[in-house]
Amino acid sequence: MRYTVPSRLLELEESATLKASEKANEMIAKGINVYKLDVGEPDFSTPKKIIDAAYNAMLNGYTHYASSAGVIQLRETIAEKYSVNVSNVIVTPGSKQGIFYALYAILNPGDEVLILNPSWSSYKQIIKLAGGVPVEIDTDDNFEPDLERIKNKINKKTKAIIVNSPNNPTGAVYSDRTVKELSELAKEKGLFVLSDEIYDRLVYEGNFVSFRKYINYDEGLILINGFSKAYAMTGWRLGYAIASPEIIKQMAKIQGHTATSPATFTQIAAITALKECEEDVKSMVKEFSERRKIIIELLDEKGIKYVKPNGAFYFFIDLGKYIKGTDPAEFLLEKARVSVTSGLGFGDNYPTYIRISYAASRETIISGLNSIFNAIGI
C-alpha cells in the first residue's frame, strides 16, 4: 500500500538541533575530528546515587505499571518542593511530553499560542501537534520579552504564552520585573502561562525568578520542569508538570491512553535525585560556570559581541559580521570542524546566529573556539 503522510503531519518539522548533531556524528564515524558544541545535554554521568536507587527499586518490585499521573511517592516529593497538593502534579516521560500533554489539554483547534523567539524549536512543533497555531514574537536586543510586541499579538484566539527562563538558546534569565509584567499581562488577558523552567538550577549570575512568584496555578500557570538538565538524566526521560487539578486530570487522561506513565523504577530513583543530590547539582553547576567564564574570556579577547548568558549552558552569537552569504553553522562544520546549531533552528530571523553549547569538556570548548576564530580569520 502506498503511504501518504496525513495532512496534520505535513507541517511538522524535524528537530533542528538533532539534525545538526547527526551530521557531525556522521563525520566522526568517518574518522574526522569534530569539536561538538551542539548538544543540549549535560556531558556528566547521572549521579551514582540515582542509578543505585533505580537498581534497588527494580529489585524491590517497582517493575510494574504505575498510576497515570505518576508514582505517588514522587508526586508527593514534587508537591512538597513546590508547596502544592499532589493533585497539582503529574510526572511525564520527559518534560517535552509534559508540554505536549499540557497544550493538548488546553487548546481547541486553531487556538493561538505565543512563543518568544529565539526559542527552543520544539515549542512550535508541539503547538502544531496539539492543534494550535504558533505565533512567533521576537524578544528585544537583550533577548528579554518585549511587552509591547506581545500585547500587539494578543487577540480573541490567543490562548497561551510559552515562556522559558533560563532560556534555550540565549541563556537569558528573565528579570523579576519581566516575570511580574508578563504574569500580570497574562492574567489581565486571561492567557495560560506555560513556564518551562527546566534550566532553573543552572544560573550563574543574577537570580532566577519562577513565574509562580506572580501567577497561581488556578490563574492559569502551567509549570514544566524535569530531571534531564539539573541531574544529567536526559536518557531517563523524566519530567513533571504542575498545574490546576482540572488540567492535571486531563493530562493524566492523555498519558493514561498513550505512555501510561514514565517507567516506574525511574520515578522512584527521581526521589533520590530531589532529596539527596544537592551536592552533585552544585558541583555540575560549578563546572558549567567555569566553562562559561572561559568562553566569555575567549570571546572578549577577540572582540566578538554577544549578550551575556546568565543561565542554561548556551551562548547565542551573531556571526554575521564574520560569515556572509552562508549558514554559519554549515560554514563552521566544514571549515572549522566545529559542530554548533544554526540560529535558524530557533527562529526565522536568526540566520546569522549560532548556538554554542558548553555541555562539553573544557578542552573541546577551547579547541573548538580557537578553530572557529581561525576559520573566520580573527
Angle at CA of residue 38, ends 226 and 142, nearest 5°: 75
* Nearest Cα to Cα of residue 136 among 310, 320, 146, 341: 146
CB nearer to ligand PLP: give 38 or 280. Answer: 38
Shortest Å distance, C-beta 118 to ligand PLP: 11
Closest approach, Cβ 182 to ligand PLP, in A, equals: 17
- In the complex with ligand PLP, the residue whose CB is nearer, 38 or 196, is 196
In this structure, the strands spanning 133-138 and 112-117 are: parallel
Residue with Cβ nearer ligand PLP (360 or 376): 360
In angstroms, give the least distance from the CB of 253 to ligand PLP. Answer: 20
What SS3 state is found at 233? coil
> CB within 8 A of 301, min separation 6: which ones?
none
For ligand PLP, give the closer residue by CB, 94 or 347.
94
The minimum distance between CB 230 and ligand PLP, in angstroms, equals 10
Closer Cβ to ligand PLP, 168 or 371, answer by number: 168
- 193 versus 376: smaller Cβ distance to ligand PLP: 193
- CA–CA separation, 225 vs 248, rounded Å? 14
User: Which residue reads 492567557 in cell numbers?
Assistant: 191
Residue 44: closest CA among 271, 240, 365, 287: 287
**Smaller CB distance to ligand PLP: residue 88 or 95?**
95
Handedness of CA 317, 318, 324, 326 (dihedral sign): positive
CB of 239 to ligand PLP, least distance (A): 4
In the complex, minimum distance from the CB of residue 46 to ligand PLP, in angstroms, rounded to a whole number = 13
Between 47 and 239, CB nearer to ligand PLP: 239
Closest approach, Cβ 366 to ligand PLP, in A, equals: 24
Task: Please give the residue whose beta carbon sits closest to ligand PLP in the complex.
Answer: 94
CB-based contacts of 209: which residues, under 8 Å, 6+ apart? Answer: 165, 174, 175, 176, 179
Q: How far is the CB of 326 from ligand PLP (least distance, A)?
A: 26
CB burial class (10 A; 0-12, 13-18, 19+) of residue 18? middle
Residues whose CB falls within 8 Å of the CB of residue 316, separated by 6 or more in sequence, listed in order: 118, 143, 169, 170, 171, 306, 307, 309, 343, 346, 350, 353, 354, 355
Q: How many CB atoms lie within 10 A of CB 240?
A: 27
Q: Which one-letter DSSP state was computed for residue 340?
A: -
Q: Hey, what's the cell of 283?
A: 558541583
User: Contact residues for ligand PLP (CB under 6 A)?
Assistant: 40, 94-96, 120, 164, 168, 196, 198, 226, 228, 234, 239
